Structure 1
Amino acid sequence: MRPTEILLHPVRLQVVHAFLGGRSLTTADLRRELPEVPAATLYRQVAALVAGGVLETVAERPVRGAVERTYRLAADAPVAVGSEDAQGMSRRDHEQAFLTFALGLVADHDRYVAGEDVDLARDQVGYRRAALHLSDEETARLVADLRAVVAPYRELPPAQGRRRRILATVLLPADPPETVSGCPPSSG
């Protein structure tokens, strides 16, 4: 399944996000995490992700005459849109993808604050914006540096004292080059 097929479908994107961090989940686990998604829709989208090679079955066990499967993200599962995929997307596709991404963050936040043991300071919850003045080369270095900083933490397995946390980033130009006050447009 192409990354754009996942990204442009809000339920599939929510399901994929639930598996991030090396998690293995059953559809019952997913229903508890995504209670706003109707069961039939959830099962249909999980089946589509399995058929598309995004999810793989890691265990099966009989439960009341049925088979309960445990899934995880496939090793080569597309969980982000790369530059090649992004170039093939229309403006409308990008708008839909970003809206789906943003609504997923809102849903994650809502689930957290609806919990019974909410302590934003203890849990180090934060969201902030920063404006940076960067050339294309500096932006590429920033992205590479951020990936290098986050990479070792992504490899940490679930363990006692660890809590799954969501880190989301958005990086986009705030102004077209010709509207940057006091500076001529860059020529390259």
Structure 2
Amino acid sequence: MARPTSPADLLLHPVRLRVLHALLGGEELTTADLATRLPDVPTASLYRHVARLVDAGVLTVVSERAVRGTTERTYAVDLAATHLGPDALATMSREDHRRAFTAFTAGLLGQFERYLEREEVDLARDRVGYREAALWLTDEELDELLGELRDTVAERTAHRPGPGRVRRTLATVVLPDDVPGT
């Protein structure tokens, strides 16, 4: 299998996206831990994808320990390495963006499906929600809103697991509407 040629190719593979998602929020996991969280991914495939992410600097080895004659590594994600900057985004084709958005939404659908497969599902109790709002904003107002959201979310991404804390996913999409007369 050929190595990905761009950051987008590397990061937008469905299995690699799931590996990265499992490690968000400061999680540190071994490949065995990842296999438990991604039971539908064949072990050899999982090891191959983890290796690619390590080679690219997206995953870092935070610790190692000897286990039955082999070395067990614990990984963490380097969030800076997952960011597709303006240069990478500018070189992506429309089809690349379509694939990226499809992978993003497929990831959300997969998470929601796994949530719905639980024994007990209570959207209100679990604080599960999905909604859409139309906002009339200038570019400057949108930039201000996005800055406020980024600051608010960044403040909370520093939280670590603890009593009463549940790992949650917050996903955002900002799109211009195709409204006549605007």
> TM-score if structure 2 supplies the norm length?
0.89
Cα distance per residue 1:1-51 (max 9 Å; x no partner)? 964133332211211111110110111111121222222211100000111
1:100 to 69, 84, 103: 103
What is the root-mean-square deviation of aligned Cα atoms in Å? Answer: 1.8
The question of 1:35 aligning with 2:66 is answered no
Aligned to 1:130: 133
Q: Equivalents in 1 of 2:61, 2:18: separation in Å?
A: 18
> TM-score if structure 1 supplies the norm length?
0.87
Aligned to 2:180: 180
2:168 to 162, 165, 168: 165
**Aligned residue pairs, count:** 178
SS of the equivalent of 1:21 reads: helix
Q: Equivalents in 1 of 2:52, 2:66: separation in Å?
A: 22
Aligned to 1:147: 150
1:20 to 2, 24, 47: 24
Q: Equivalents in 1 of 2:43, 2:127: separation in Å?
A: 32
Percent identity of paired positions between Structure 1 and Structure 2:
53
CA shift, 1:117, in A, is: 4.0
SS of the equivalent of 2:82 reads: coil
CA contact under 8 A between 2:14 and 2:103: conserved in structure 1?
Answer: yes
CA contact under 8 A between 1:6 and 1:13: conserved in structure 2?
Answer: no
Aligned to 2:115: 112
The question of 1:67 aligning with 2:80 is answered no
Alignment gaps of 5+ in structure 1? 184-188
Judging changes above 3 Å, is the alpha-carbon distance between structure 1 residues 117 and 69 closer, same or farther for their aligned structure 2 residues? Answer: farther
Amino acid at match of 1:67: T
Aligned to 1:186: none
CA contact under 8 A between 2:65 and 2:72: conserved in structure 1?
Answer: yes
Cα distance per residue 1:131-184 (max 9 Å; x no partner)? 111221121111111112212111111111101100011111121xxx533x4x
Q: Equivalents in 1 of 2:11, 2:105: separation in Å?
A: 11
SS of the equivalent of 1:78 reads: helix
Q: Equivalents in 2 of 1:141, 1:33: separation in Å?
A: 37
